[in-house]
Amino acid sequence: MDFILQYQFEIGCAILVLFILFDRDTVRVDFGALSKFQAFLVMLTLFRIAQFSFAYESGAGIPGMGPIGQISPWQYFLVFWEDAFYVLPMVFLRKFKWTSKWYVWYPIFIGMSVWFGAGHMYQGLYAAVVTSLCPYFISYRYGSKFGFGTIMLSHICYDFVTFYTIKLLPLFL
């Protein structure tokens, strides 16, 4: 299974490099949108701490890291490849008018989204189902508006903050 992730990472990096070289505007970074996302992350983190605090007081215990806690925090800086691998090919095909037929695009978006969500099964079925909505409803739509570089940096920040929120949670409880 690791070799599949390795190939996806390498293909995602290659796709990102091609966009940087030939279509830089698509992978632009909108720092205004990124700063708004950072403000959202601060509120989300405070909400998570409050939520876990109430759960802890009612005897639920502290949530564990599970398999995600096995990786090094620096690896969260590498999650940009997911957006590059799962979303940028669809952007390329749509941008260059490969086809505009809905019956071609819906299966591609659904297939890539299910594949993306299946990669998050280690977080549980609920997380995999919710995560499967990300490629289209978050990455594609917001990336088209704010630039895919913004989405990739936001993804890195989200995963990094989530990791440290759970890791440092015992200090707050």
d(CA 173, CA 169): 7
d(CA 110, CA 115): 8
Element (H, E) at 165: helix 148-172
Range of the domain at 45: 2-172
Contact 84, 147 (CB under 8 A): no
d(CA 66, CA 50): 21
Domain total for the chain? 1
**For residue range 11-65, what is the model confidence (pLDDT) as tens digits?**
999 999 999 999 999 999 999 999 999 999 999 999 988 888 887 777 776 666 6
d(CA 82, CA 12): 7
- pTM across the whole model: 0.84
Task: Please report where in the chains the tokens 């299966």 appear, as a residue.
Answer: 107
**For residue range 125-154, what is the model confidence (pLDDT) as tens digits?**
888 898 898 888 888 889 999 999 999 999
